[in-house]
Amino acid sequence: MLAEREPRLDAQRLLAELVPPPRFDAVRFSSYVPDRDQPSQARAVRALEEFAAGLGGPAPDGGRRRWFRGRAPERPSTPGGIYLDGGYGVGKTHLLASLWHATDAPAEQKAFGTFVELTNLVGALGFRPAVEALSSHRLVCIDEFELDDPGDTVLVSTLLARLAAAGVRLAATSNTLPGRLGEGRFAAADFMREIQGLSAQFTSLRIDGDDYRHRGLPQAPEPYADQQVTVAASRTPGAALDDFEPLVAHLAQVHPSRYGALVDGVDAVFLRGVRQVTDQAAALRLVVLADRLYDREVPVMASGVPFDRLFSAEMLSGGYRKKYFRAVSRLTSLARDSARLA
């Protein structure tokens, strides 16, 4: 049961895990399939390939860690950062991970993490040691930059400014700000404004398109009966079987930075009695859990309400709308993956 786990993390593990998650281990630019009706997708691939090619040469400061004494290195002539600007499901994370893989540098000289993972790293190490730990990197990729948390946005923007001054190249995707969601439109203006003085370092790549996980596919599959979920869990190696309400309560006791560790060694998740969530804090915790399950390609078999009804209509039209739609998209994909377990 996930609700019986209490994972612990240390700083060294946080550093070691700054790599693309398992779902994106094998992705490459060549495996990204651009939508023929969205030429911006193919253009983005070409631009990122050129960006990766420009990342050759020695790492900043010759690969040595330092405390930013003396004159900052000369800035590169090409933009030091690139921002992937698009809605959910257009493949931004696929392309960001492909950039990480295409960068000709040892794994210890490039980092890939979500905004939450980066803030957790700063919290675990302290700001100055985090700068030191990342300043020798050639590339730092930040997925899902959280524009709706002003304090953490300033913290990470300051961190990235220090890294950019050290010659580290940056790449990012982001969500949209609450109240500026429109119809799932783009966040480039919001992103550039929030990172303030750092924005000059970034070139924006717009990626149009629909959620690829649902191109021509049905919405969330019908949930199973409780008994079906229980039986399937009993015969599935590496299964975690939970009742939905106790799991939601347990998530409130575990920091979201530990949700990845929470599902370590779990090959499939089985949930009984999924209900619609109306509490905002509980809903946002479920968003993070959905992200970690999706990253690790853990199928989810569930009874109760279908995942496209997991969040209330009020939530799906509110300030965190984009996060909830992303979670529904990912959980629906994982629910489809669970069909083989039935």
Q: What is the pLDDT of residues 281-332, one digit of tens each?
A: 999 999 989 999 998 999 999 999 999 999 998 898 887 777 888 899 889 9
Question: What is the rounded CA–CA span in Å between residue 113 and residue 19?
Answer: 6
pTM of the model: 0.73
Domain boundaries, the chain: 11-212, 218-341
Domain 11-212 class?
alpha beta
Write the burial class of residue 222 (CB in 10 Å: 0-12 exposed, 13-18 middle, 19+ buried).
exposed
- Return the percentage of the chain with pLDDT > 70, whole number: 83
**Residue 236 near residue 229 (C-beta atoms within 8 A):** no
How do beta strands 268-274 and 239-243 pair? parallel
pLDDT digits (tens, 9 = 90+) for 48-97: 999 999 886 444 544 443 333 333 334 334 457 898 888 777 889 999 99
Between CA 122 and CA 126, with CA 123 as vertex, the angle to 5 degrees is 60
- Return the residue matching tokens 């965190």: 320
Spatial CA neighbour of 191 closest among 182, 183, 202: 202
